[in-house]
Amino acid sequence: MNVNQERIAKLQEKMQAANMDMYLVPTADFHQSEYVGTYFKVRAWLSGFSGSAGTLLVTRENAYLWTDGRYFIQAAKQLEGTGVTLMKMGEEGVPTVEEFIKENLPMNGCLGCDGRTIHVAEGKDFETLVQEKEGRFEYQDDLAGEIWTDRPEMSKEPVYTLDVKYAGKSREDKIQDVRDAMKEAGANVHIISSMDDIVWLLNIRGNDIIYNPVVMSYVMVTMEQVHFYVQEEAVSEQVRAELEKAGVVLHDYFAIYEDVKELADDSKIMLEDACTNYTLYKNLPGNVEVIFQSNPAAIMKGCKNETEMENIRIAHIKDAKAMCRFIYWFKNHVNSGEITEYSAAEKSLEFRKEDPDCLDLSFETICAYEANAAMCHYAPTETEYAKVEPKGFFLIDSGAQYWQGTTDITRTIAAGELTQEQKENFTLVLQGHIRLAMAKFQYGCSGANLDVLARGPLWERAMDFNHGTGHGVGYLLNVHEGPQNINWRMRANGRRGNTTPLEEGMLTSDEPGLYLEGKYGIRTENLLLCKKAEKNGYGQFMEFENMTWVPYEREAILPEMLTKAELVWLNEYHQKVYEIVGPMLSEEERQWLKEATAEIK
Q: What is the pLDDT of residues 86-99, one digit of tens each?
A: 999 989 999 999 99
Residue ranges per domain, the chain? 3-147, 160-300, 303-596
Does residue 595 sit in helix, strand or coil? helix
Among 534, 471, 528, 480, CA closest to 505: 528
pLDDT(493) > 50:
no
> Is 296's pLDDT higher than 80?
yes
Q: What is the pLDDT of residue 571?
A: 98
Q: Exposed, middle or buried, 444 (CB in 10 Å: 0-12/13-18/19+)?
A: exposed
* Domains 3-147 and 303-596 in one fold: no
Architecture of the domain defined by 303-596: Alpha-Beta Complex (3.90)
Q: Report pLDDT for 495.
A: 44
Does position 490 have pLDDT exceeding 50, yes or no? yes
Domain 3-147 is of which CATH architecture?
3-Layer(aba) Sandwich (3.40)
Average confidence (pLDDT) over 486-504: 73
What confidence score (pLDDT) does residue 34 get? 87
Half-sphere exposure of 517 (CA within 13 A, CB side): 10
Q: What is the pLDDT of residue 52?
A: 87
- Please tell me the predicted confidence (pLDDT) of residue 489: 82
Cα distance from N-terminal residue to C-terminal residue, the chain = 61
Mean pLDDT value of segment 269-276: 95
DSSP per residue over 82-142, as a string? Answer: T-EEEEETTSTTPPPHHHHHHHHSPTT-EEEE-GGGSBHHHHHHHHHHHHHTT-EEE-S--
pLDDT band at 538 (very low <50, low <70, confident <90, very high): very high
The dihedrals phi and psi of 242, each to the nearest 5 degrees, come to: -65, -40
Q: Quick one: pLDDT at residue 492?
A: 41
CATH code that applies to domain 160-300: 3.40.350.10
Condensed to tens digits (0 to 9), the pLDDT of residues 140-163 reads 989 998 999 999 999 999 999 999
| Cα separation, 126 vs 213, whole angstroms | 32
How many residues comprise the chain?
A: 601
As a whole number of angstroms, the distance between CA 215 and CA 155 comes to 9
Q: Does 483 sit behind a cis peptide bond, omega within 30 degrees of 0 on the bond before it?
A: yes
C-alpha 383/C-alpha 553 separation (Å) is 29
Mean pLDDT computed over 74-84? 93
Query: Residues 536-559: what's their mean pLDDT?
Result: 98
Mean pLDDT of 39-63: 95
Q: What is the per-residue pLDDT across 297-315, written as a single tens digit (0 to 9) for each? A: 999 999 999 999 999 999 9
Percent of the chain predicted with pLDDT > 90 = 94
- Mutual orientation of helices 306-333 and 564-581 as an angle, nearest 10°? 90
What is the SS3 string spanning 293-358?
CCCHHHHHHHECCHHHHHHHHHHHHHHHHHHHHHHHHHHHHHHHCCCEHHHHHHHHHHHHHCCCCE
Q: What is the pLDDT of residue 396?
A: 98
Is the pLDDT at 491 greater than 70? The verdict is no
- Alpha carbon separation from 296 to 120, 180, 199, 326 (Å, rounded): 18, 10, 14, 40
Q: Does the pLDDT of residue 243 top 70, yes or no?
A: yes
pLDDT at 126 over 80: yes
Predicted TM-score of the model (pTM): 0.93
Give percent above pLDDT 70 in the chain.
99
Give burial (CB, 10 Å; 0-12/13-18/19+) of 421: exposed
Q: Does the pLDDT of residue 229 top 70, yes or no? A: yes
